Structure 1
Amino acid sequence: MGGVSEGDDVLARWSDGLLYLGNVKRVSAFKQCCLVRFEDNSEFWVLRKDIHSSALPLLSLRLCCLSCKHELNALPPPPITGYHPECHTPTIEPEADSDSWICRQCVFAVATKRGGALKRGRFARLMQFMKLRLPYQLSSLDWDPQHLTNQQQCYCYCAGPGEWNLKMLQCGSCGQWFHEACTQCLTKPLLYGDRFYQFQCSVCTKGPETIQRLPMTWVDLAHLVLYHLSLCCKRKYFDFDHEILSFTNENWDSLLLGALSDTPRQDRCHNLLNALNSHKDRFVSGKEIKKKKCLFGLQVRAPPPLTSDSSPLITDPPINITHRRRSE
């Protein structure tokens, strides 16, 4: 199955856009996926397209025939760069220095980071150049009606898997979803379900990404904090003072709240509590379920809607984040 066998140590690209070290336990040629055991002993099926051999050092040259779709006899062997020039995205220029050239896969492996990719340095510049073209045809992807997921599990510049509600940004021009880890425009890390950004990818801008924070209300803020906490803590109900308000105050500057950001600390409690109590369509309080009245949860565990959404809530989002073990 494409050069991967049981027992191989591999790098698997996960839905956050990052690569993780694992070991192949089983191979399914029919489903084109492998059961991979990661360093924390968790095991998950990963699509073959998102698995890369780690037998070579990270920045060593890769053999093109392991990844390209050409018949082996249709083209001459790849040059010293390890790729047929036309197989790499972007195409390798004839004058490229084979001693210093670095492939797309290695650039992304080094440059991607939690909270956003490198913004300065050689790898940042290389990544920006390679992000001008996607390594797949966007028009060939089969999307669901809400344009949240595609059957090919192919997203972002890296062509890796993804989950739209778990720290991804949607391009307002092409509609594709991009990992936080692969973007170079964020000033603060994303919260789970934070869609309050107007974002354009490098492919659409033909240059650096553009991003603008959208305005938020107190209801949006309460919803976003509850959604983020529900995924991080795997619980539905949270204490207002010790969890909801505490988290909001601790992350106040990172939330980029625009007009709300000047609210004095002593006024935040009243505004948040009023939002939670006055919007029964979104929130449920503990007193409604015969629990402590200081507890609050979401009526539907879904990210806060944007004003441009055609429906008030996306009612069937992917909510399981237990497939990887990264704590926030």
Structure 2
Amino acid sequence: MGVVSEGEDVLARWSDGLLYLGNVKRVDVVKQCCLVRFEDNSEFWVLRKDIHSCNNFPVNVTVIPLFLVVSGYHPQCHTPTIDPEVDSNSWICRQCVFAVATKRGGALKRGRFARLMQLMKLRLPYQLSSLDWDPQHLTNQQQCYCYCAGPGEWNLKMLQCGSCGQWFHEACTQCLTKPLLYGDRFYQFQCSICTNGPETIQRLPMTWVDLAHLVLYHLSLCCKRKYFDFDHEIMSFTNENWESLLLGTRCAAALTALVLTRRLYLSFRFVSGKEIKKKKCLFGLQVRAPPPLSSDSSPLIADQPVSITHRRRSAEQGPR
């Protein structure tokens, strides 16, 4: 990885899987992290493993770079290993492929970088078995996730592979047809490592309670509020994102509204405005946590995971 120093321009990988330009303000050698000031003047501690020096990029550092210096890698050290007969003038490293191909809503699906990314996703640049996970397999101590080995937070637009259990950023996956909602785990997903090829994904069924819970959780993170108007916010969002939510035949709006309101009033997961002496058309979550899967053996998780790169940061924004 090399050494970075104070005042150096770097690209730091955020918990959404994307790289952002910043400048190193402090270096903590003991904790192996750096205080990075990003372009919006926000400052956060970032693990050293998630920082890449812009000195390695032969382009202007004010833009996302396209190519790394080829001589920066031993053929056997790069993942995947470099063919000794490869054309050094056209070869592109893993880091640059991911910098270009990753996007909000899902990585590129077509073109040269998409094909290169798919090939590089067949091997992880770390040992999955070496990660130390919490009992619920939601976070690991190394803050190492996905194909990119970057940081992440399971409840912020990530998919968990049903085979290996690792979590993958929305931005690094190439199988999505619609952007993920925050806390949406209602997918059967298999990563490229486990399929030894393209990822597979299938929508899992949701109950009406789960649907209402997911919408409220997503809105609460996006809008930083607890209570939402049923007609103007909850139903409006549900109708606008129906395909992303259920991927099935759409019910009549009147029936959807009727069923949702009954679930919001009757389920223990929600609180209505009437209960707290507010407008009865307002609803919120009893506990701001993602909806649980039927396979979950644990109760709702109230505390959101906090990583060294994502402290006190808006859930819908990375550094700019």
Of 292, 307, 311, the residue aligned with 2:279 is 292
Q: Which runs of 5+ in 2 are unaligned?
A: 60-64
Aligned length: 308
Q: Identity of aligned pairs, percent? A: 82
Give the secondary-structure state (helix, strand or coil) at the position aligned to 1:262: coil
Amino acid in the other structure paired with 1:267? L
List alignment gaps of at least 5 residues for structure 1: 63-79
What does residue 7 of structure 2 align with?
A: 7
Q: Which residue of structure 2 lines up, in the alignment, with residue 304 of structure 1?
A: 291
1:187 aligns with 2:177: yes
2:146 counterpart residue number: 156
Question: How far apart, CA to CA, are the structure 2 residues paired with 1:25 and 1:121?
Answer: 37
Structure 1 residue 327 displacement after superposition: 4.7
Matched-pair contact (CA < 8 Å) for 2:76–2:82: yes
1:35 aligns with 2:35: yes
2:112 is matched with which residue: 96, 101, 122?
Answer: 122
- Cα offset for 1:82? 2.7
**1:167 is matched with which residue: 154, 157, 178?**
157
- Of structures 1 and 2, the one scoring higher in RCO (CA 8 A, sep 6+) is 2
Aligned to 1:26: 26
Superposition TM-score, scaled by structure 2 size = 0.92
Distance 2:185 2:118 in 1: 23
Structure 2: how far apart are the matches of 1:241 and 1:258? 22
The farther-off stretch of 2-11 and 106-115 is: 2-11
Q: 1:313 corresponds to which letter in structure 2?
A: L
The 4+ residue runs of structure 1 with deviation greater than 3 A are 319-322, 324-328
Residue type matched to 2:258 in 1? Answer: H
CA shift at 1:325, angstroms?
7.5
CA distance in 1, matches of 2:5, 2:67: 21
Residue 35 of structure 1 contacts residue 44 of structure 1 at CA under 8 Å; is this kept in 2?
A: yes
How big is the shift at 1:295?
1.1
The DSSP-based 3-state class of the residue aligned with 2:222 is: helix
Q: Distance in 2 between matches of 1:96 and 1:130?
A: 15
Deviation at 1:321, TM superposition (A): 7.7
Scaled by the length of structure 1, the TM-score of the pair is 0.90
Alpha-carbon distance, 1:12 to partner = 0.5
Pair 1:131 & 2:144 matched: no
Indicate the SS of the match to 2:99: helix
Cα deviation for residue 4 of structure 1 reads 1.0
1:104 aligns with one of 79, 90, 94: 94
Q: Does 1:276 align with 2:264?
A: yes
Equivalent residue for 2:213, pick from 218, 223, 235: 223
Aligned partners of 1:61, 1:239: CA distance in 2, in Å? Answer: 50
